[in-house]
Amino acid sequence: MSTETTTRPSADEQTPDAAPAVEVRDLVKRYGRSTTPAVDGLSFAVRRGEVFGLLGPNGAGKTTTVGVLTTRVTKTSGLATVAGIDVATNPVGARAVLGVVPQRPNLDRSLDARGNLVWHAAYHGVPRAQRGRLADELLERMGLAEKAKTNPDELSGGQAQRLIIARGLMHDPQVLFLDEPSTGLDPQARLFVHDRVTELAASGVTVVLTTHDMDEAAKLADRVGIVDHGKLLALDTPSALVAALPGEATIDLTITGADVDVLTGRLGELRGVSSVEDLSGEAAAATHLRVGCDGEAGAALPPVLAAVADAGAVVSQVELGEPTLEDVFIDLTGRGLR
């Protein structure tokens, strides 16, 4: 009985060179006779306690990658480990240390909400005496205490998702995989799920989530891997990804009463300004200028406004454009529909 408790590599947090929570190296997955692989030489590593986002358009290979890591999809080649356990050679060991929140609800409808949690714990060898207490605790934490006896069929989408997350946590996994965790949820449920994810990460659980929602990735993930056509296109913190974007921050000015050519010349000489573009239409009453900035748009704003005032012009509208993860995403994966 006591063997179970010794299997957890509990000292890993203290060892800096411990195996990463998740490692994928040169992973390839080709389905059946398909000519193009769903995952095509993917490599990345997730640190312990990190929230890692896999971002990509539909069909990019995110779900397949998670499928391999959660032992449900067999790889074609490469390496995939969870908590240092090779998922291909030791799937049973890997299942003990990972939790899964799938894209589609798969709750057991022959059991009530609490039964789903309790039996899940039984599959994972949680001692009988602890199962009920753990289930009640998690139901409480997920705001489902009143739904304990409810059949999964009668839960709303958000409640079902919370129950699935609770189920994934019943066996105290080291790594939790969330596949599109908030697709189809209303804003309240989404926010609740986001808060739980943040909470989990704070408690030391490594979280790997896939999403095509930029805001979600930017908000939750410590680092984001952008995937398309089964390949990793970029991997960094959301802010670093945005900063590296070849596109830049912009200041859009609507002004009147100035000699546009003179003003354009002056603006172009300012430090922090990389380009000035006249966007006004021919018949426009006001002049519309787009000023491209090297750094943040906010930093370049005061000198730009000063130069406009010097030229005797009146500003009627200012709009700052900061690039977002969405721009990075579109820049890397293109605008084509999938």
Partner 1 sequence: MSAPVKVGPGQGRAFLGVLGRDLAVTGKEFGSFISQVLMQPFFLLFVFGVVLGQLGYVTPGYAQLLLPGLLALNAFFVAVQATAIPLVIDFSYTKEIEDRLLAPLSTRLVAVEKIVFGASRGLFGSLVMIPVGYIVLDEVNWVLSGLPFAAVLLVLGSLAGGAAGLVLGTLVSPRKINVVFALVITPLLFTGSTQFPFLQLENLRWFQVICALNPITYVSEGLRGALTPAVPHLPGWLCLLALVASCLLFGAVGIQGFVRRALD
How far, in Å, CA of 178 to CA of 195, rounded? 14
Whole-angstrom CA distances from 38 to 77, 80, 86, 199 are 12, 15, 20, 32
CB of 72 to partner 1, least distance (A): 6
- How far does CA 220 lie from the centroid of its chain? 6
Whole-angstrom CA distances from 301 to 294, 310, 319 are 12, 14, 10
74 binds partner 1 (CB under 8 A): yes
**What is the full DSSP assignment across 274-287?**
EEEEE---TT-SSE
Binds partner 1 by CB under 8 A, chosen from 16, 34, 35, 92: 92
Binds partner 1 by CB under 8 A, chosen from 110, 275, 316, 317: 110
CB of 104 to partner 1, least distance (A): 6
Q: Which residues make beta-bridge pairs with 24?
A: 44, 80
Task: For residue 160, give every residue at least 6 positions away whose Cβ sits within 8 Å of its Cβ, in sequence order, or none.
Answer: 105, 107, 152
Segment contacting partner 1 by CB under 8 A, of 97-105, 196-204, 248-256, 258-266: 97-105
6 binds partner 1 (CB under 8 A): yes
Segment contacting partner 1 by CB under 8 A, of 50-58, 96-104, 224-232, 255-263: 96-104
Segment contacting partner 1 by CB under 8 A, of 20-28, 110-118, 186-194, 319-327: 110-118
Q: Which amino acid is at 99?
A: G
CB of 275 to partner 1, least distance (A): 49
CB nearer to partner 1: give 1 or 129. Answer: 1
106 binds partner 1 (CB under 8 A): yes
Binds partner 1 by CB under 8 A, chosen from 57, 61, 67, 272: 67
The torsion angle over the Cα atoms of residues 8, 11, 17 and 23, rounded to 10 degrees, is 20
Binds partner 1 by CB under 8 A, chosen from 124, 141, 194, 231: 124
Binding mask 12-31 for partner 1 (x = CB under 8 A): -------------------x
130 binds partner 1 (CB under 8 A): no
Segment contacting partner 1 by CB under 8 A, of 123-131, 139-147, 206-214, 288-296: 123-131
Binds partner 1 by CB under 8 A, chosen from 107, 165, 197, 224: 107
How far, in Å, CA of 50 to CA of 302, rounded? 38
91 binds partner 1 (CB under 8 A): yes
Cβ-count burial 215-250 (b if 16+ within 10 Å, e if not): ebbbbbbebbbbbbbbbbbbbeebeebbeebeebbb
Closest among 140, 159, 141 to 150, alpha carbons compared: 159
How far, in Å, CA of 252 to CA of 318, rounded? 6
What is the residue whose two structure tokens read 């790594």? 175
Binds partner 1 by CB under 8 A, chosen from 19, 28, 49, 72: 72
How far, in Å, CA of 152 to CA of 211, rounded? 24
Count of chain residues binding partner 1 (CB under 8 A): 37
By CB under 8 A, what part of segment 225-284 binds partner 1? none
Give the footprint of partner 1 on this chain (CB under 8 A). 1, 3-4, 6-7, 31, 64, 67, 70-74, 85, 90-93, 95-96, 100, 102, 104, 106-111, 116, 119-120, 122-125, 167
